[in-house]
Structure 1
Amino acid sequence: MDVLAVPTDRQKGWYLSLMAPNTKGPTFAWLDPSRLYCNSQALADCVKDLLSPFQNDSVDLVAGIDAMGFILGASVATTLGKGFLAIRKAGHLCIATQSQQYTDYSCREKNMEVRLDVLKPGLRVLLVDQWIETGGTMKAAIQLVEQLGAIVVGVAAVAIENTEGGKWIKKHYKHAHCIPEKLQEQFDRHHLELLRVENTPVTLTY
């Protein structure tokens, strides 16, 4: 039984109102999308929306970024009937890897890595993450895929903010996200007026 109610009239993006705002302070992400994953219909509709722009594209493999991108990426892969590749933070894979340095949304320098025995020249990969804020993490994932000769079919995330990095990704790669245009500005300034502090979902209208 799902723990969250599903509206009878499900508009595109209805599940965004299930997300929970930050209640722990500035060291945490400003919004927690994982709450929508607790509802099977919300997760299914989110995946459907993310795949909509890629219906006519050939995808050989789905790659998700450590860690929350694993949830959406695996769901997308299962829906497509394709395999799933985990792009991990450095130090978690016990095999030969390719690594790439990047700066995450909190301005910390990190490294990510991918195994060498999957990505091959010409392989068509759909990259999935939960959120793209500064774009640094996704850019590094794109570099890893392309360094090994594979092709980035596109990029998908619940939200792609209009930061410098987010705009770069939107300009150079086919992309999908779940944010209605009328709400984009609210997401960009990290203040979604549709959510209440007490984590009670409200009806999404736009």
Structure 2
Amino acid sequence: MDLLESPKDRPRGWYLALMAPNTKGAPFAWLDPSRLYCNAQALADCVQDILSPFTGDSIDLVAGIDAMGFILGASVATALGKGFLAVRKAGHLCVSSQQQTYSDYTGREKTMEVREDAIKPGLRVLLVDQWIETGGTMKAAIQLLERMGATIVGVAAVAMENTEGGKWIQDHYKCSHCVPAELQGQIDAKYLESFKGFEK
């Protein structure tokens, strides 16, 4: 499928075929979802699919996780007409912040932070990231925002893998992602059949 092409009949998750395989990066980053964002219709449909389970839910703020979660999270916030909060990697905020340490999908220890004045007790937050693999990053963001007094309305991503951490998040929070049931096995196996179109 051409980068700017979208099908006339657009089934849920059609845009997942726009994602490209990893050809030169670290082995744990097995695909590049950012190609999806280059297509305006794909991004709009992705956001719509992510938001469909939250229709009627009260959401005060959307939070996105550094860095690729900023793209999707800001798009979701714009669609909702809500503000956007950046959950940053430690060291990037020049104001007083709250921090949370965690292990990301690579197994490396990291720290994230949120400005202290962004969260008021009871604020209802939709938490967005690009991808949930081990779930460590998302779980840390949940812990950080809840410690600051936020209520997590739900968790959203392009995809959630059925790892131990991914399942924990889905068991404890309302979740939304864009992967149809028939493609979940490919996501969990870290290989999409659509990649064949990219292979030489």
Instruction: Give the aligned CA root-mean-square deviation in angstroms.
Output: 1.5
Residues 102-181 of structure 1: matches in 2 within 5 Å?
A: 102-181=102-181
Number of residue pairs aligned between Structure 1 and Structure 2: 199
Residues 1-16 of structure 1: matches in 2 within 5 Å?
A: 3-16=3-16
Alpha-carbon spacing, 1:6–1:41, altered in 2? closer, same or farther (3 Å): same
User: What's the TM-score once normalised by structure 2's chain length?
Assistant: 0.96
Instruction: Say if 2:28 and 2:106, in contact at 8 Å, map to a contact too.
Output: no
Would you say 1:55 and 2:55 are equivalent positions? yes
More relative contact order, 1 or 2 (CA 8 Å, 6+ apart)? 1
User: What's the TM-score once normalised by structure 1's chain length?
Assistant: 0.93
Spell out, residue by residue over 1:60-87, the C-alpha distance to the aligned partner (whole angstroms, 9 max, x if none): 0000000000000000000000000000
Instruction: Say if 1:23 and 1:197, in contact at 8 Å, map to a contact too.
Output: no
- SS of residue matched to 1:117: helix
Moved over 4 A (4+): none
Question: Residue in 2 aligned with 1:191?
Answer: 191
Q: Determine the C-alpha separation between the residues in 2 that align with 1:164 and 1:19.
A: 24
Instruction: Say if 1:21 and 1:197, in contact at 8 Å, map to a contact too.
Output: no
Any stretches of 5+ residues in structure 2 without a counterpart? none
Percentage of identical aligned residues: 73
Tell which deviates more after alignment, 47-56 or 187-196. 187-196
Q: Give 1:197 deviation, angstroms.
A: 6.0
Q: Determine the C-alpha separation between the residues in 2 that align with 1:199 and 1:72.
A: 27
Instruction: Say if 1:97 and 1:115, in contact at 8 Å, map to a contact too.
Output: yes
Would you say 1:77 and 2:53 are equivalent positions? no
Question: Residue in 2 aligned with 1:203?
Answer: none
Q: Determine the C-alpha separation between the residues in 1 that align with 2:25 and 2:62.
A: 33
- SS of residue matched to 1:112: strand
Q: Give 1:199 deviation, angstroms.
A: 6.6
Code of the residue aligned with 2:115 in structure 1: it is R
Q: Give 1:27 deviation, angstroms.
A: 4.1
Spell out, residue by residue over 1:18-57, the C-alpha distance to the aligned partner (whole angstroms, 9 max, x if none): 0001111544510111001000000000000000000010
Q: Determine the C-alpha separation between the residues in 1 that align with 2:4 and 2:142.
A: 35
Instruction: Say if 2:3 and 2:35, in contact at 8 Å, map to a contact too.
Output: no
Q: Determine the C-alpha separation between the residues in 1 that align with 2:131 and 2:199.
A: 19
Code of the residue aligned with 2:74 in structure 1: it is A
Code of the residue aligned with 1:23 in structure 2: it is T
